[in-house]
Every structure is written in structure tokens, then in C-alpha cells.
Structure 1
Amino acid sequence: MENRQQSEENNKVNGHVEEALPSLLFRVKLENGKQVLAHLAGKLRIHHIKILPGDKVLVETTPYDENRGRIVYRMK
């Protein structure tokens, strides 16, 4: 039940990757103009999904730290 509440609190926003950083971190510019530091979600990491600068992605942010996020989907 707690997991469901946590996922409802997370905001999902489209963005595009501007820069790939070490340790699977990416600098992503969101649709609303903000820039966040995002890491790969576990499923993307397990399935070896490659993220490159210029890719469109779906980023999940939390209300606790709006400058960080998690990449949960890569658009085709």
C-alpha cells in the first residue's frame, strides 16, 4: 500500500537528454524548462537500455528534491 502512495506522489515529465555524465547520470532538460540530474531506473539498467544525448525520455521526480530524477522510459 505504501508503494502505491509513493508512486502517486511522483511527477512524470517528458524531457530530453543534454549530457551523459559518469556513473549512469544524465543531465536532462524538462519540458517546463527546468534542468535535472537523473539516473537510470532499475529496469532500464537490467535490460541494458542505452541512453544517449538527444534522446527523449520520461523522468520521474519527487517533491522532496526537484533537481534530481529517475529516467523511467526512453521514447522511440
Structure 2
Amino acid sequence: MYKKNLFLFEGDVVKNLPNSTFLVFIEKIKKNVLCYISGKIRLNYIRIIPGDKVKIEIDKSNPNKGRIIYRMR
């Protein structure tokens, strides 16, 4: 993905799904998005559970999928 083709959003993790994917609700656009974890989060063993606030980036070409890039405290 290219950086200029991405939207950045903040959302809440709603549900854990298999293969380290998550369902994230974005309040700004009132939509659930299927997200996977970025490599940096995976390498540092950062745990994400339902209820966490996260930053995600969504590609313009496929707005139904995203990537979790940061877990907020």
C-alpha cells in the first residue's frame, strides 16, 4: 500500500477473529471494518483485546479492510 492512498481513523475493537484479525467499529463513519495487525505490533507482542482503542489505516480502493497500526492506552 502507498501512504498517499490511505485514510487514518481511530476506532474500538469489537471482536477477536481467527488469524489475528479483528472487527473494529469506527465512530466517525459509523461502520465496522475487518482489520489485521501490522508487523511492528506483531513483533513486539502487543496484545489487543475487545474494548481497546486503536488507530487504523484503510486503503481507498478497499474500504472494508484495514490495518491496525497503533494501540492506544
Q: In 2, Cα distance between the equivalents of 1:55 and 1:39?
A: 14
TM-score where L is the length of structure 2: 0.94
Q: Show the counterpart of 2:43.
A: 46
Query: Which structure's residues are more often strand, by fraction?
Result: 2
Aligned residues: 72
Equivalent of 2:65, from 60, 65, 68? Answer: 68
Structure having the higher Rg = 1
From the two aligned structures, give the one with the greater helix fraction: 1
Instruction: Give the structure-1-normalised TM-score.
Output: 0.90
User: Runs of 5+ in structure 1 lacking a partner?
Assistant: none
Q: State the Cα RMSD in Å.
A: 1.1
Gap regions ≥5 residues in structure 2: none
List, as ranges, runs of 4+ consecutive aligned residues in structure 1 with deviation greater than 4 Å.
Answer: none
